[in-house]
Structure 1
Amino acid sequence: MSKRYDDSEEAHRRHRREHTRRAIAQRLEDGHRHSYLRDFIYGAIDGAVTTFAVVAGVTGAGMASGVVIVLGLANLLADGFSMAVSNYLGTRAERQLLDAHRHAERRHIETYPKGEVEEVRQIYARKGFKGKALKQAVSAITSDIGQWVDTMLQDELGLALNGPRPLRAATATFVAFVAVGAVPLAPYVLDWLRPGSVAEPFWPSLVMTAVAFFLVGALKSRFVAQRWHTAGLETLAIGGVAAGLAYGVGYLLQSLVVDLPPG
């Protein structure tokens, strides 16, 4: 999980400790740890946008507050599960594609070894290797079929060898979707549990959703090269546009909705 570069003295000391021979060996032995930040951010933003779209659309149409809870909860669980399953299947398909290419490359090496050696030679020549260094690099790579296959997958086909685990990616998406997506519904649920405790649930829902959007963006900034307030405002703007569209559609189409008693 890559973080924004920290230029403090404490960071320099930490980086020095991380770049000792022993620390480097341990890090390489542990292997690459995939970040599930994309899955979390994707689920969180979509959860808040989707659920608040229900809130905004129902409110714009002038429907009862109870409708918000019913539609919101149904949408929260159904869409959250759908997104998680889709992410699981998509991530698994990428791993299956990698396995298929790995099998094909191994077969090519066994069937056309000279041609595959030439491919490695040209790959490393493009990297700037020449003469004796090029021959040594090609010899070292092609002496280990596992390393040979990995080289072809990465440098010829552009595939990542360490992708996300499907179940973890799906779980991150679902948890983020439900947790952040529940925020717009909170004032309505509270008013349902304690009638009259929230006079107009839409406005607290609007404010809480805006805060959730901003916090999700600010959280993202801890792991990418972006200022926290810029990332927060960017996410807030995207969510605000989606909410505005939902409210506008509900308001314009309110004449199509059968009148219900106010909630």
Structure 2
Amino acid sequence: MQDHGHTLGEIRQRIDTPPGRGQLRDLVYGGIDGSVTTFAIVAGVAGAGLPPLIIVALGFANVLADGFSMAAGNYSGTKAELDNAERLRQVEIRHLREFPAGERLEIKEILSRKGLSGAVLEAATDAIFADKEASVELMLEGEYGLASVDPHPMRAAVATFIAFLAAGIIPLLPFVMGLQNAFLVSACVTGGVFFGIGALKSRWSLAKWWRSGLETLWIGGIAAGIAFGVGTLFHT
């Protein structure tokens, strides 16, 4: 785990340019869903005993259509977060204008829960209340739990689509290449993708890399097993 610096310049730079949540969630979300849904189609169609050409056609259709759908959904969801945050911002601005005493009391309560008390609490409350933007930011975080850094809808959508596309194509490659035992090879490489995504995800968590990898492998394996089982019901 890499520690950050604690000089005044480094501290100011981090505070002035906070990274926000970034695209980690979008990449993991898109990668897992891309590999899971594509292999689920592969498993379902293979379980039904259909030709490899059908598997490839349905698989690529899923990668493009479902990948775009997920990206669009993530864009819309992230945009909705922004719209809601702006709505709440306008509510707090109006409340500061119409109910200043009540809003000052809210600021004081939020600060008291951060450990301030006595004269220090009163002074801090007065200082923040005197700055409308600081007041709004504090109440958005303290009242609604909103982060101070807004997410980026288009970045979220692009990250989701790219991750979905990259991971979703892998289960199809053994069929495209015409390999012997293509389904078995596809299952193995897809399992490796599941595990790899989980292991990579552990870099941003406290979980052991192998535990995170096995967890993702387990989730993906269940989805694929369900799809294969349903497909076998239609095997002729």
TM interval, shorter chain, is over 0.9
Partner deviation per Cα, 1:129-181 (whole Å, 9 max, x = no partner): 22211110111110100000111111112222213200001111110001001
Choose 1 or 2 for highest CA Rg. 1
Q: TM-score, normalised by structure 2?
A: 0.96
Match of 1:207 among 188, 211, 226: 188
1:21 aligns with 2:11: no
Residue aligning to 1:226: 207
Partner deviation per Cα, 1:101-141 (whole Å, 9 max, x = no partner): 00110011011111111221222233332221111011111
Residue aligning to 1:177: 164
Aligned residue type for 1:168: R
Identity of aligned residues (%): 48
Match of 1:243 among 214, 218, 224: 224
Measure the CA separation in 2 of the matches of 1:237 and 1:142: 51
1:154 aligns with 2:135: no
Aligned residue type for 1:120: I
Aligned residue type for 2:208: R
Measure the CA separation in 1 of the matches of 2:204 and 2:120: 38
Match of 1:73 among 55, 60, 75: 60
Measure the CA separation in 1 of the matches of 2:77 and 2:141: 20
Structure 1 ranges of 4+ moved more than 6 A: none
CA contact (8 A) 2:20 2:150 kept: no
1:120 aligns with 2:73: no
Partner deviation per Cα, 1:15-35 (whole Å, 9 max, x = no partner): 4xx111221122222233432
Residue aligning to 1:82: 69
Secondary structure (helix, strand or coil) at the match of 1:32 reads: coil
CA contact (8 A) 1:48 1:181 kept: yes
Residue aligning to 1:105: 92
Measure the CA separation in 2 of the matches of 1:157 and 1:140: 21
CA contact (8 A) 1:36 1:164 kept: no
**Structure 2 matches for 1:31-70, cutoff 5 A?**
31-70=18-57
Query: How far apart are residue 216 of structure 1 and its match?
Result: 0.6
Measure the CA separation in 2 of the matches of 1:122 and 1:26: 29
Measure the CA separation in 2 of the matches of 1:52 and 1:157: 39
Query: How far apart are residue 253 of structure 1 and its match?
Result: 2.2
Is there any run of 5+ residues in structure 2 with no aligned partner, and where?
Answer: none
Aligned residue type for 1:100: R
Aligned residue type for 2:222: V
Measure the CA separation in 1 of the matches of 2:130 and 2:100: 12
Measure the CA separation in 2 of the matches of 1:223 and 1:50: 24
Measure the CA separation in 1 of the matches of 2:16 and 2:91: 28
Q: CA RMSD in A?
A: 1.3
